[in-house]
Chains A and B, each alone.
Chain A
Amino acid sequence: MSNILKKILNGIWTSNPVLILLLGFCPTLAVSTTLNNAIGMAFAATFVLVSSNIVISTIRNFVPNKMRIPVFIIVIATFVILVDLVMYGYFPKLHKSLGVFIPLIVVNCIVFGRAEAYASKNKVFDSFLDGLGMGLGFLLIISVLAAIREIIGNGTLWGIKLFGDSYTPAIVAILPPGAFLTVGLMIGGMNFINIKNNEKARIKQKLEKEKVKI
């Protein structure tokens, strides 16, 4: 049980696809103008990630090594077309505001990277967990980013007004530059936390060593 949790947490925090592995920036930056768009995008990407991970890990023993990349692309593209058509049919508004970024999930480095680095070498269930964890990590980051940008740049969250009329939204947060600045600060913050944690762990180790000596 703890093993399962650990694998999922790996995607969410320890090797978060966006902030630590620095993958999948394009949709993260482009779609995070409102929380609504961001969550739609994250669910689409997670679906593709999980299902392509499962399929690729199932067929990993039959696919010749040299042919693997085209095969991966076909598998991923199939699921992306599926998502594209379903979204077009049932959520036309969301589909329109995500635009070209839905078909672009095909070349999303997170999906491709996990297929190559994890699903092609591991068991089906592990790959499923890995895909789920990475998807949730992506969901977490893109929602936090979108929430920050929406609150600062528009004064709303999920379309609900948060402040009184006297608040003038800083539009720059919604505009492209705001995305870069916010993500940069988030990566810096993540590094800061990790550095602090490492230092704490080191001090703890030192103290324990000294205890043993005494």
Chain B
Amino acid sequence: MTQLVVGPFNRVEGDLEVRLDVQDGAVEAAYANSPLFRGFEKMLAGADPRDALTITPRICGICSISQSVAAALALADAAKVEMPQQAKLAAAVLHGVENLADHITHFYLFFMPDFARPAYEGHDWYDEVVTRFTATRGTSQKAALDARARLFHITGVLGGKWPHTLAIQPAGVTRAPTAAERVRMLSTLKGFRRFLEAHLFGAPLEDFLALESRADLATWRTGDAGLFLRAAQELGLDGLGVGPRRYLSYGAYPMASGRTTRAGLWVDGQMGAFDPTSIVEHVSRSWMTGAAAHPFEGYTDPDEDMSETGYSWCKAPRLDGLTAEVGALARGIVDGHPLALSVAADGGVAARIAGRLLEIARTQIWLEEWVTALDPAQRFMGEFEVPKDGRGAGLVEAARGSLGHWLTIEDGRIANYQIIAPTTWNFSPRDENDAPGPLEAALVGAPVAACDKTPLSVQHIVRSFDPCMVCTVH
């Protein structure tokens, strides 16, 4: 057996190290290490609860609005208030724009450049991939960057800036849009649709959304998506990096009529309800002190000696004692979308990318509907006061999956704050039962060539999860 240490693992958000035990040309065991500890939960202890709205978005520069919405919902839950219906729409627009942009950043900047590596020379798609996706130079990369920057003009209007807006509050949003701003945002969205249809899909979004099965998807040949699908089929990426096949979603985008996508847990073809009280974070293999606990009871106290039993600053969240995979694919599956359910049968690298492509198309259409539904004549802010004592949870869906904030207020100050981020789920270390996290399990069996120090198969699998390491440990 040989051991490989892959790091710095770049083109993921934040710092990641993956240790691999390799036997007979394949990964036998994998260990994911989140090597950065900052301690946001400790920073928040004793703070004015409202300060969570300023501090927690700064956990992450790529999922900043997700953190912001989770904090706002946790405070709202503790104070027993709710945003007015139009504020929910505006918050969903801000959040949807970030999630959409994150998927684009992932596909164009983080994931696709690996297919432009010399190792793939000779494949009939290779030259085209090199032109479009070579890191820092690809023509599609640059087009995506331009389109992404323009899409963020919506956060300029409604949120002041991105990342790190303070516009989303427990009882509403700080900025009531005007009628002129509403039509301007619609025009910005039209521009983004033009990019998606010209570059990513090479066809109307509705055509992609009409795909209902992996067989349908296999016929898609246009746009950058088609180029990926060609490469994926040739390289067998559907069977690579299969996860635990337990898919969790908290349900995305709370609206007056409920969440836009369903919440739940999908296991082996069965949809079940998801019970937030059955979440437990294990710390046995983390550089953390304490015992396994639900986030309302848990705390964060790093083991300064970094004892031998631990190998990551990340805790290991488990649902009913088991791992769960979160992300765009999980959301699509739990929401019952036929294409997502169909690719769930594979559950590997290609399925995760398909789940994201599907969600890009759906999110663009949701955003168009939401901005259209904004009514500048309505109220965008209600009343909110910090309760003297209370507790609340804020559960949202970030681009990378389920994000939760659990807050306890005592005597008007934060007594405890716990966060479980999407990549805490996906890239968790082993738990008390020595069960590996979803990524660690997905890496087992990945092929490794004899002289390979940074196996491409491992890179595809890791990046297919779109990890956000700064959120993971926070």
A associates with B: no
Point out residues on B near A: beta carbons under 8 Å.
Answer: none
Point out residues on A near B: beta carbons under 8 Å.
Answer: none
